[in-house]
Amino acid sequence: MSGKAKDKGAAGAKKFEKILGRLEEIVGRLNEGDVPLEESLTLFEEGVTLSKEGHQILDEAERKIEVLLESGETRPYGAKDEPKT
């Protein structure tokens, strides 16, 4: 893997972690129950946007994994190779 690809992957991971952290903050704030309606809507909208961004990052990571495993069949994480008979 090239240095640029590693840097991009690391940046994507950091962005994903930042998104998750912000989503946790939003959920915590909304769970408090004393948030005014307008603020709740704003937080919800931000959460939906962040969720979409997070899904895009995960989809890109999944595509990269599939490319890396392209020499054989892709299989779910944790699946072991079955012995050949």
Is 78 inside a domain boundary?
no
| Count of domains forming the chain | 1
11-35 pLDDT, tens per residue? 778 999 999 999 999 999 999 989 9
The model's pTM is 0.68
- Does residue 56 lie in a domain region? yes
Question: Which residue ranges of the chain lie beneath pLDDT 70?
Answer: 1-9, 71-85
44 in any annotated domain: yes
Residue 83 lies in a domain: no
The CATH number of residue 53's host domain is: 1.10.287
Q: State the amino acid at position 79 in one-letter form.
A: A
Full domain range(s) for residue 16: 3-68
| Residue 61 maps to a domain | yes
Asked if the structure places residue 23 within a domain, the reply is yes
- Dist. CA 13–CA 34, nearest whole Å: 33
